[in-house]
Amino acid sequence: MVALTGKTLNNAGVEASEDYVAKVLSDPAVRDKALESLQEEERALQERRQALQNILGEDKTAGGTPDPGSTRSATRKSKSSE
């Protein structure tokens, strides 16, 4: 293969895969389905975030400071560093 095209079999396979993906994604129905799937994943992630916030009793967005009365994470950190 290399002698004929200058490409290895692996490179030819990668190129063919990229061409196939580009062709499939150029179909509007496939793109719409992919976007729909991404939106559904985002909704599920939002639900999990909300559930965790409800469990932890926090109304803060991700990255908020933990409740000072909670020592659970501090206990885990000290045990894992031993």
What pLDDT is stored for residue 82 in this prediction?
47
Decide if 43 is inside a domain. Answer: yes
For the stretch 10-48, pLDDT in tens is: 998 999 999 999 999 899 999 999 999 999 999 999 999
CA gap 42, 48 in Å, rounded: 10
* Maximum average pLDDT range among 21-30, 62-71, 73-82: 21-30
Q: 0.85 cut: is pTM over it?
A: no
CA dihedral 68, 72, 78, 79 (to 10 degrees): 170
Q: Tell me how many domains the chain contains.
A: 1
Decide if 6 is inside a domain. Answer: yes
Decide if 52 is inside a domain. Answer: yes
Instruction: Domain of residue 14: give its range.
Output: 2-58
Residue type at 71 in one-letter notation: T
CA gap 21, 37 in Å, rounded: 17
Decide if 8 is inside a domain. Answer: yes
Decide if 68 is inside a domain. Answer: no
